[in-house]
Structure 1
Amino acid sequence: MIQTAEGAFNETHAMIQRIRELVIQGHNGTLSDADRRTIQQEIDQLIEEIGGISNRTEFNTRKLLDGSCGTGAGKGLWLQLGANAGQGMYIQFSNMSADILGAGADPDFALSGVNILANSYDDNMAVVDQALADVSRERGRMGAYINRLEHTINNMDTTVENLIAAESRIRDADMAREMMALAKYSILQQVAMAMLVQANQQAKSVLWLLMQHDNGP
């Protein structure tokens, strides 16, 4: 899921970077109006594709970047990390649509409003740079999620190793007890046999003495 979002962020970041290059190029005073219209067409296509990425990016049929997994307490997708209730974390994604990206720079328009034919260079660049910062912030959030999950996985691995070691010790202890019981049973059996043999010998000795007595002078 996080890898899916990261892939979308990387594509979006590359497209916004291209828009930035086109804005710089489009505000070159040596260009004709036709040249600027051509550049604006490419900008519009990139903006449309950014919106498409926001709408298409999903994991297990759940859309990630359209705002439905927004940030805030108790929002996002809950990821269960432990056996008990509450042992988990929310994975949250901001809205990455072109109507939202870059809106913090200028209240009048966002990335979707970048237009080299209608807006000043400063206004366009402010929105584009803010959009780049928005995407970079989300990429940083994904990095933090990955770090936390890696620590959790390492902790789980340690727990599993400890459980396996404990199970092995219990199994070894049970085996030792079984071997001791078997040895005890073997000793008792040998003692019983020895006592039986000794009893037989004693009985034979008594019988012999009696026979000698009967055959006496």
Structure 2
Amino acid sequence: DRISQALGRSLDRLSSGRRINSAADGAADLAIAERFRAEIRSLTQAQSNTGQGIALAQVADSALEETGELLIRMRELAVQSANGTLGSSERASLEQEFASLRDEIDRIANTTEFNGKNPLADGSDVAIQVGPDAGDTLTVSGATATAAELGVDGLAIGTASGATGALSGLDTAIRQVSSLRSQFGTAQVRLESAARLLGAQLEGTSRAESLIRDVDVAQEVATLTRLQILQEAGVAALAQSNQNLGLLLKLL
């Protein structure tokens, strides 16, 4: 009967914790709740995407920080080699270290990776999907930080004049690295802002979905109790009716 069916639905709601378990519980509410659920899933994935974008920018910045340290050391060596009191053997040792540092710059640029992306070697931009819709993207601009791109591949400090001439090139390279670090830092700040916005959107959408889909336990317990009382009253009434019918039959 209708009371038994309503009692069954009430028990389903309490056991599942959800007010809407099927279209029979409210087709319109179910459609709204499903739309919210799809958006929650999309926002959660966008949040993960944004976190990966932040990590990419951090990896690139850390690598560029090390490249900057190498360039500063190379400049220090150039200043040392420009000193007229040095002999040729001493300059040769300085040139050897200088070349090793230049090779290390290339190694960093070519081996810095994040999830298959090389942010310092190929110069490719990376589009980060930071929202549930097609236009919700932020771009992490690519960079190339090889020795050749920084303009230090042809520098040498084996002579005093070469060392003096290398200083301006090294200064340019140091400024270039600083500019690239600023580029990745700006991207990280924007992505962190997007992540905070996603968190707020996810919280609000989850709350809205919960209000529609989740059961009000206190209210549902009250409903269940009322239905149980009605069912018990109906059973008692039926039993009493059967008893009265039996007495009537005896009198007849």
Q: TM-score, normalised by structure 1?
A: 0.73
Distance in 1 (CA, whole Å) between partners of 2:95 and 2:184 is 32
Question: How far off is 1:179 after superposition?
Answer: 4.8
Question: How far off is 1:156 after superposition?
Answer: 1.5
Aligned to 2:131: 82
Aligned to 2:76: 21
Q: Tell me which of 94, 113, 127 is aligned to 1:39.
A: 94
Q: Secondary structure at the match of 1:89?
A: strand
Preserved contact between residue 67 and residue 96 of structure 1 (Cα < 8 Å): no
Matched, 1:134 2:176: yes
Q: Tell me which of 187, 193, 207 is aligned to 1:145.
A: 187
Q: Deviations over 1:61-98 (max 9, x none)?
A: 332211342xxxxxx11211111112121212211011
Moved over 3 A (4+): 175-200
Residues 68 and 143 of structure 1, relative CA distance in 2, 3 Å threshold: closer
Matched, 1:113 2:145: no
Residues 192 and 63 of structure 1, relative CA distance in 2, 3 Å threshold: closer
Aligned to 1:106: none
Question: How far off is 1:155 after superposition?
Answer: 1.3
Structure 1 stretch displaced more, 188-197 or 15-24 = 188-197
Preserved contact between residue 13 and residue 135 of structure 1 (Cα < 8 Å): yes
Q: How many residues align?
A: 194
Q: Tell me which of 150, 154, 176 is aligned to 2:196.
A: 154
Q: Deviations over 1:32-86 (max 9, x none)?
A: 12221221111111111111211112222332211342xxxxxx11211111112
Instruction: Could you tell me which runs of 5 or more consecutive residues in structure 2 were left unpaired when the two chains were aligned.
Output: 1-55, 246-252
Distance in 2 (CA, whole Å) between partners of 1:191 and 1:33 is 110
Q: Tell me which of 202, 206, 214 is aligned to 1:171.
A: 214
Distance in 1 (CA, whole Å) between partners of 2:95 and 2:134 is 52
Question: How far off is 1:128 after superposition?
Answer: 0.5
Distance in 2 (CA, whole Å) between partners of 1:86 and 1:42 is 49
Q: Deviations over 1:142-194 (max 9, x none)?
A: 21122112111111111222223223435245x56645644654675688689
Residues 198 and 48 of structure 1, relative CA distance in 2, 3 Å threshold: closer
Q: TM-score, normalised by structure 2?
A: 0.64
| Corresponding letter in the other structure for 1:152 | A
Q: Secondary structure at the match of 2:147?
A: coil
Q: Secondary structure at the match of 1:100?
A: helix
Higher helix share: 2
Preserved contact between residue 71 and residue 170 of structure 2 (Cα < 8 Å): yes
Instruction: Could you tell me which runs of 5 or more consecutive residues in structure 1 were left unpaired when the two chains were aligned.
Output: 70-75, 102-109, 204-217
Distance in 2 (CA, whole Å) between partners of 1:199 and 1:61 is 79
Distance in 1 (CA, whole Å) between partners of 2:173 and 2:195 is 33
Q: What is the root-mean-square deviation in Å for CA atoms of aligned residues?
A: 3.0
Distance in 1 (CA, whole Å) between partners of 2:205 and 2:118 is 38
Identity rate, percent? 31
Task: Using CA pairs under 8 Å that are at least 6 residues apart, name the structure with larger relative contact order, 1 or 2.
Answer: 2
